[in-house]
C-alpha cells in the first residue's frame, strides 16, 4: 500500500512535508468530479450528472409535469381566494409607463391514458405576476382570444380583477379562424394593439404559460433604467426588442449559431477557469502542502494549470443554463446578449417598435407562412431593431400543452 502511494504521489513529499502536486491534482479531480458534482447536479437537466429516475421519483415525465402543474394551480387558487376582497386593480390608468399583456386561449390536452387535462396556465401566471410589486404606472390586460370567450373560464374569473379584452364576441367567432398558425399570429397582434391603446412607453407581451421569476420585475426595471435607456449598449432604446425568456436548450455552451454569443460563451468559460484556478491556487498551500519554507514555485504553477482545466471541465459538465442561475444573486449580474431566433413567451417592446411591427404585419410585409416568432425575427433584421435577450431568464415556460400543436407536448427540461 505504501509502495502504491509512493509510485502515485511521490512518498518523499507525503506526510509531514505535505502532498506532492500530483497527489493534490488527483485529489482535486476526484473530489470535484466524483463527489461534489454528482451530488449537486443530479437534478440539473442539462448536466452530464442528471439522473431522471432519481429526479422524478419513478414517475413518467408527463405525470411529473402534471403533478408540478397541479401544485401551482392550488397555490394560485389559494392566492386569489385570500386576495378576493382586496385585489381590485384599476381598470384605466393615466400616464401608463408599461402595459403587461397576456395572450391567452383555453388550453385542452389529452393524456396518454385517454383522459383530458386542463392545465389552467393563465390562473398560475397571473397569480405569479400579481404577487410582484407592480408600480402604479403599470397596467395589466388579458387578451382572451378564445373563439367563444365564455368557454375560457379562468379569463372570465380574472375579469373581476383585471381588464380583459376579447377578440371574438360571446356568440363565437364571426368567421372560422383559418389555419392555427395564422390565428396565433393574428391573436398576438391583437393583444399588441390592445396594449398600445393605453399609450405606454413599453409593452411587455406574455403568452399565458410564461411564469414570472420572483423578483423579475425589479430586475427588469433595473435593466431598462441602467442598461437600455442610459445608452450604455450599442443600440437605441427606441429600437429595442428584448426577449425575457429563451429556451434553456438554446442557452447551452456552444449550441448557438450566433457568433457573438459563442464568443461571449468562450469568454465566460475562460473567466470561470481563471477565477476558479486562482482561488484553488491560493488554497493549494494551506490545504495540500502545509507550511513549508522551501516551496517549489514551478510546481505551484503546474497546479494552477490543472486547477484552470478542472474548473473549465466542471463548468462544461454542469452546463451553462444552470451556471446562469448564479447571476440571480444580484440584478447587476444580469446580461444583455444578442437573442437567438426563437420564441415569443415573454418579449419587451418599446412603443415605437411595437407600432412599427403591427404596421408591417398589417401591410402584409411578412410572408404568410412565417409563424409569429419567425416573423418578428424577420422584421427585427429588416427594420434594424436591436434583437436582444436578458440572461438569466426573467420568465419560465410552464407549458406542456401547445395551442398550436395538438395533443400533449411535454418538455421535461422546462420542469427541471
Strands of the 202-207 sheet, one edge to the other = 163-166, 138-144, 98-104, 202-207, 346-350, 240-243, 386-391, 335-338
pLDDT value at 369 more than 90: no
Nearest Cα to Cα of residue 303 among 279, 271, 269? 279
pLDDT value at 12 more than 50: no
Cα separations in angstroms, 83 against 145, 181, 217, 361, 372: 26, 37, 21, 40, 35
Q: Would you give the DSSP letter of residue 341?
A: S
Residue 176 and residue 239 in one domain = yes
pLDDT value at 410 more than 70: no
Residue 218 and residue 108 in one domain = yes
**Of the ranges 33-37, 59-63, 215-219, 316-320, which one carries the lowest mean pLDDT score?**
59-63
What is the predicted pLDDT for the residue at 145?
93
pTM of this structure: 0.86
What is the predicted pLDDT for the residue at 181?
79
Residue 171 and residue 292 in one domain = no
What is the predicted pLDDT for the residue at 354?
93
* Terminal alpha carbon distance of the chain: 44
Q: Which of 318, 336, 355 is the last residue of a domain?
A: 318
Which residues sit opposite 129 in a β-bridge? none
Domain of 361? Answer: 55-252+326-415
- Written in H, E and C, the secondary structure of 164-200 is EEECCECCECCCCCCCHHHHHHHHHHHHHHHHHCCCC
Give the helix, strand, coil percentages of the chain, each rounded to 5. Answer: 50, 15, 35
- High-pLDDT (> 70) share of the chain, %: 78
| Residue 204 main-chain phi, psi, to 5 deg | -105, 105
Is-contact 47 317, C-beta < 8 A? yes
State pLDDT tens for residues 49-78. Answer: 998 888 888 888 888 888 999 999 999 999
Share the mean pLDDT of the chain.
Answer: 82
Residue 171 and residue 290 in one domain = no
User: pLDDT higher for 407 or 363?
Assistant: 363
Mean pLDDT of 72-96: 77
Mean pLDDT of 139-146: 94
What is the predicted pLDDT for the residue at 105?
92
Q: Which of 271, 296, 318 is the last residue of a domain?
A: 318
Residue 26 and residue 139 in one domain = no
Q: Which of 302, 318, 334 is the last residue of a domain?
A: 318
What is the predicted pLDDT for the residue at 175?
57
Can you tell me whether residue 238 is helix, strand or coil?
Answer: helix
pLDDT value at 290 more than 60: no
Residue 182 and residue 209 in one domain = yes
Is position 49 within any domain?
Answer: no
pLDDT value at 17 more than 60: no
CATH of the domain at 181: 3.90.550.10
Residue 91 and residue 216 in one domain = yes
Residue 200 and residue 223 in one domain = yes
Is position 83 within any domain?
Answer: yes
pLDDT value at 346 more than 90: yes
What is the predicted pLDDT for the residue at 283?
79
Residue 186 and residue 242 in one domain = yes
- ∠ CA 336-337-342, nearest 5°, is 115
What is the predicted pLDDT for the residue at 289?
56
What is the predicted pLDDT for the residue at 55?
84
Q: How confident is the model at residue 4 (pLDDT cuts 50, 70, 90)?
A: very low
pLDDT value at 30 more than 90: yes
State pLDDT tens for residues 298-315. Answer: 555 788 899 999 999 999
pLDDT value at 85 more than 50: yes
Is position 358 within any domain?
Answer: yes
State pLDDT tens for residues 170-220. Answer: 655 555 556 777 888 899 999 999 999 999 999 999 999 999 999 999 999
Which contiguous run of DSSP H or E holds residue 140? strand 138-144
- Please tell me which of 82-86, 111-115, 139-143 the model is most confident about, judged by mean pLDDT: 139-143
State pLDDT tens for residues 112-133. Answer: 555 678 899 999 999 999 999 8
Residue 89 and residue 176 in one domain = yes
Which residues sit opposite 386 in a β-bridge? 240
Is position 346 within any domain?
Answer: yes
What is the predicted pLDDT for the residue at 239?
79
Q: How many CA atoms lie within 13 A of 21 on its CB side?
A: 14
pLDDT value at 241 more than 70: yes
- In the chain, the number of structural domains is 2
Q: How confident is the model at residue 18 (pLDDT cuts 50, 70, 90)?
A: low
pLDDT value at 378 more than 50: yes
Is position 71 within any domain?
Answer: yes
Mean pLDDT of 407-415: 47
What is the predicted pLDDT for the residue at 59?
83
Residue 19 and residue 153 in one domain = no
* Size of the chain in residues: 416
pLDDT value at 234 more than 70: no
Residue 190 and residue 339 in one domain = yes
Q: How confident is the model at residue 111 (pLDDT cuts 50, 70, 90)?
A: low
Q: How confident is the model at residue 415 (pLDDT cuts 50, 70, 90)?
A: very low
What is the predicted pLDDT for the residue at 411?
47
Is position 287 within any domain?
Answer: yes
Is position 313 within any domain?
Answer: yes
- ∠ CA 35-41-43, nearest 5°, is 135
What is the predicted pLDDT for the residue at 332?
93
Amino acid at each position: 500500500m505504501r509502495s502504491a502511494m509512493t509510485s502515485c504521489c511521490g512518498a518523499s513529499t507525503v506526510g509531514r512535508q505535505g502532498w506532492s502536486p500530483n497527489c493534490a491534482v488527483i485529489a482535486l479531480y476526484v473530489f470535484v468530479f466524483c463527489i461534489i458534482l454528482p451530488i449537486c447536479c443530479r437534478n440539473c437537466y442539462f448536466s452530464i450528472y442528471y439522473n431522471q429516475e432519481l429526479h422524478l421519483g419513478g414517475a413518467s415525465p408527463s405525470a411529473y409535469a402534471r403533478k408540478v402543474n397541479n401544485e401551482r394551480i392550488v397555490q394560485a387558487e389559494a392566492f386569489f381566494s385570500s386576495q378576493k376582497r382586496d385585489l381590485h386593480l384599476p381598470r384605466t390608468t393615466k400616464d401608463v409607463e408599461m402595459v403587461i399583456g397576456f395572450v391567452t386561449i383555453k388550453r385542452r390536452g389529452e393524456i396518454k391514458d385517454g383522459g383530458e387535462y386542463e392545465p389552467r396556465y393563465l390562473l398560475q401566471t397571473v397569480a405569479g405576476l400579481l404577487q410582484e410589486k407592480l408600480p402604479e404606472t403599470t397596467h395589466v390586460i388579458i387578451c382572451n382570444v378564445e373563439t367563444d370567450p365564455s368557454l375560457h373560464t379562468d379569463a372570465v374569473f380574472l375579469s373581476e380583477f383585471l381588464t380583459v379584452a376579447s377578440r371574438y364576441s360571446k356568440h363565437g367567432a364571426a368567421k372560422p379562424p383559418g389555419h392555427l398558425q395564422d390565428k396565433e399570429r393574428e391573436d398576438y397582434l391583437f393583444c399588441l394593439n390592445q396594449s398600445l391603446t393605453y399609450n405606454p412607453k413599453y409593452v411587455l407581451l406574455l403568452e399565458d404559460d410564461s411564469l414570472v421569476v420572483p423578483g423579475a420585475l425589479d430586475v427588469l426595471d433595473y435593466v431598462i433604467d441602467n442598461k437600455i435607456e442610459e445608452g450604455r449598449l450599442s443600440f437605441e432604446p427606441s429600437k429595442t426588442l428584448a426577449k425575457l425568456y429563451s429556451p434553456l436548450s438554446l442557452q447551452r455552451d456552444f449550441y448557438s449559431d450566433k457568433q457573438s454569443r459563442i464568443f461571449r460563451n468562450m469568454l465566460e468559460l475562460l473567466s470561470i477557469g481563471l477565477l476558479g484556478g486562482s482561488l484553488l491556487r491560493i488554497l493549494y498551500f494551506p490545504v495540500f502542502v502545509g507550511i513549508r519554507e522551501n516551496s517549489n514555485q514551478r510546481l505551484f504553477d503546474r497546479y494552477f494549470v490543472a486547477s484552470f482545466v478542472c474548473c473549465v471541465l466542471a463548468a462544461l459538465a454542469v452546463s451553462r443554463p444552470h451556471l446562469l442561475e448564479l447571476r440571480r444573486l444580484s440584478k447587476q449580474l444580469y446580461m444583455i446578449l444578442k437573442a437567438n431566433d426563437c420564441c415569443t413567451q415573454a418579449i419587451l417592446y418599446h412603443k415605437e417598435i411595437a407600432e412599427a411591427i403591427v404596421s408591417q404585419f398589417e401591410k402584409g410585409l411578412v410572408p404568410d407562412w412565417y409563424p409569429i416568432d419567425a416573423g418578428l425575427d424577420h422584421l427585427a433584421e429588416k427594420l434594424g431593431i436591436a434583437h436582444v435577450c436578458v440572461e438569466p431568464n426573467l420568465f419560465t415556460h410552464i407549458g406542456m400543452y401547445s395551442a398550436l400543436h395538438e395533443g400533449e407536448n411535454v418538455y421535461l427540461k422546462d420542469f427541471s
